[in-house]
């Protein structure tokens, strides 16, 4: 919304590493059925609220990812630090591509605060590069650098520093600093755990170009219950509200409402996720106020280390269909 | 020329003109108006407001019926395809799981006897009586 990734035109769909959430070690885990909820973890002291980008993730994870065409992902674990994956994507609406993704990340983590940096790189068959590097400068300070190119041209170069206190998180991001064109985008995030279950915070985006300058302030709040999470972002750029509810071990439900003043559009979505571990299957479904419905079925072919994904998205208003088929091996 | 005028039926005295009941003129009158037009003419006896109200009601109900039909077509299509995409895969999978479990149960029954139907069922045999020395 007001974040840099939104400004750069990327949302969750354009996230370079489509299938998994990028930094599972850094973002606190979702309220789970078995583990105690995160706001009660520290015996009376308020826990760290996590990063600003992760505020809506518990709701967004319930929604199905739009898949299109045929996609095959082969994951190989070379050692406890190295993982490589090859992605072949044949698509009807965009040119087909092969992607190579490599990760240097300590997988058998002794704790969240590991010393080794996390380096993630992804290269396209057309030459586009995506690189993330995450460094722990100290126990509480983390630094991140992101580079994205489109073939030979740099689209995004972004540097972020985050400080995690006992019950607050502060982060400063500088995106696309360009000395020659005198343009920069600065984003500051702050989140504070106010009481058990309540997190308040804000985001300030300041962008400056040669001829223009502007700032957008967005306030954020998140309230969590034993098995639900409600989040609200409101500011001049629009509002984004989401509600996540875990009905039982198998069913999770999410409702999302987005309004943007830039595009003058509001969207309401309802999504659900159903897990049947006995049948080795996860199904995610979604209904939209733009008359878009979609469902994605993930079935793990149990003796083989492979997962089959089948999904369909239908736009009833425009009578359009997107069907996708995917196989994840390894 | 005057002879032709004399010969036409309208020119002569009234007695030579065909009477009102003659079939020719009546046929001409009947051919000019169909039966529907005659029935429509009957409605002219109602007052104007009633006629206009009836006309509006009739055309309105035709429009509503058309809209209802097209709406129900669209709703049925949207409902069926949405059900197919959102609900049907889960139903298939749960049914398959149930059938598999039933099959396993049946197999276990056949293999181990009728008492071992459920998983974790009783061993089936009564414990041996205590031996008294």
Dig out the tokens for B127 from the structure.
């414990």
What tens digit of pLDDT does each residue of A203-241 get? 999 999 989 999 999 999 999 999 999 999 999 989 999
Predicted confidence at residue A141, as pLDDT, reads: 92
Predicted confidence at residue A3, as pLDDT, reads: 40
Element (H, E) at B57: helix B48-86
Query: Do A63 and A269 meet the contact criterion of CB atoms below 8 Å apart?
Result: yes
Instruction: Give the ipTM.
Output: 0.72
Residue A325 forms contact with B (CB below 8 Å): no
A 10 A CB-CB count for A241 gives 18
Predicted confidence at residue A310, as pLDDT, reads: 94
In the numeric block, the tokens 């056949």 are attached to B110
Predicted confidence at residue A113, as pLDDT, reads: 52
Top residue of A293, A309, A319 to mutate, by most chain B CBs within 10 Å, is: A293
Predicted confidence at residue A297, as pLDDT, reads: 95
C-alpha to C-alpha distance for A130 and A143, rounded to whole angstroms:
17
Residues on chain B touching A293 (C-beta within 8 angstroms):
81-82, 85-86
What tens digit of pLDDT does each residue of B32-89 get? 778 898 888 888 888 889 889 999 999 999 999 999 999 999 999 999 999 999 999 9
Predicted confidence at residue A27, as pLDDT, reads: 45
Query: Do A205 and A185 meet the contact criterion of CB atoms below 8 Å apart?
Result: yes
Q: State yes or no: pLDDT of A191 exceeds 70.
A: yes
Query: Do A203 and A218 meet the contact criterion of CB atoms below 8 Å apart?
Result: yes
Q: How confident is the model at residue B16 (pLDDT cuts 50, 70, 90)?
A: low
Chain B contacts in chain A segment 223-282 (CB below 8 A): 274, 276, 278-279, 281
C-alpha to C-alpha distance for A57 and A24, rounded to whole angstroms:
11
Chain A contacts in chain B segment 35-94 (CB below 8 A): 78, 81-82, 85-87, 89-90, 93-94
């Amino acid at each position: 919304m007001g974040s840099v990734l939104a400004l750069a035109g990327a949302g969750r769909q354009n996230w370079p590493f489509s299938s998994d959430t990028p930094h599972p070690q850094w973002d606190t885990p979702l309220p789970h059925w078995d583990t105690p909820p995160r706001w009660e973890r520290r015996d009376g002291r308020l826990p760290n609220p996590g990063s600003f980008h992760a505020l809506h993730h518990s709701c967004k994870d319930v929604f199905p990812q739009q898949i299109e065409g045929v996609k095959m992902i082969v994951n190989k674990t070379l050692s406890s630090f190295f993982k490589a994956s090859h992605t072949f994507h044949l698509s009807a609406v965009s040119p087909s591509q092969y992607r190579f993704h490599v990760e240097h990340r300590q997988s058998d983590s002794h704790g969240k605060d590991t010393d080794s940096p996390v380096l993630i790189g992804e290269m396209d068959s057309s030459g586009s590069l995506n690189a993330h590097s995450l460094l722990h400068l100290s126990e509480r300070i983390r630094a991140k650098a992101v580079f994205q190119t489109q073939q030979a041209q740099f689209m995004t170069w972004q540097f972020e520093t985050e400080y995690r206190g006992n019950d607050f998180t502060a982060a400063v991001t500088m995106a696309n600093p360009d000395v020659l064109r005198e343009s920069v985008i600065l984003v500051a995030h702050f989140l504070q755990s106010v009481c058990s279950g309540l997190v308040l915070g804000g985001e300030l985006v300041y962008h400056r170009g040669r001829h223009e300058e502007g700032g957008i302030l967005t306030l954020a709040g998140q309230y969590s219950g034993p098995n639900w999470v409600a989040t609200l972002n409101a500011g001049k750029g629009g509002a984004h509200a989401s509600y996540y509810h875990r009905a039982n071990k198998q069913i999770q439900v999410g409702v999302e409402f987005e309004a943007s003043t830039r595009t003058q559009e509001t969207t309401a979505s309802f999504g659900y996720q159903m897990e049947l571990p006995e049948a080795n299957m996860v199904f995610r479904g979604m209904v939209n106020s733009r008359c878009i419905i979609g469902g994605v079925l993930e079935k793990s072919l149990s003796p083989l280390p492979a997962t089959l994904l089948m999904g369909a998205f239908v736009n009833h208003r425009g009578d359009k269909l997107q069907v996708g088929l995917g196989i994840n091996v390894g | 020329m005057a002879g032709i005028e004399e010969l036409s039926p309208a020119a002569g005295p009234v007695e030579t003109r065909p009477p009102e009941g003659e079939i020719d003129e009546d046929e001409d009158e009947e051919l000019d108006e169909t039966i529907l037009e005659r029935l429509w003419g009957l409605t002219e006896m109602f007052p104007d407001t009633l006629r206009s109200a009836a006309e509006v009601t009739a055309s309105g109900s035709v429009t509503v019926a058309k809209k209802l039909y097209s709406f129900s077509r669209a709703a049925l299509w949207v409902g069926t395809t949405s059900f197919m995409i959102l609900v049907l895969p889960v139903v298939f999978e749960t049914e398959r799981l149930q059938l598999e479990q039933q099959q396993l149960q049946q197999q276990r029954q056949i293999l181990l006897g009728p008492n071992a139907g459920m998983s974790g069922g009783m061993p089936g045999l009564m414990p041996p009586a205590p031996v008294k020395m």
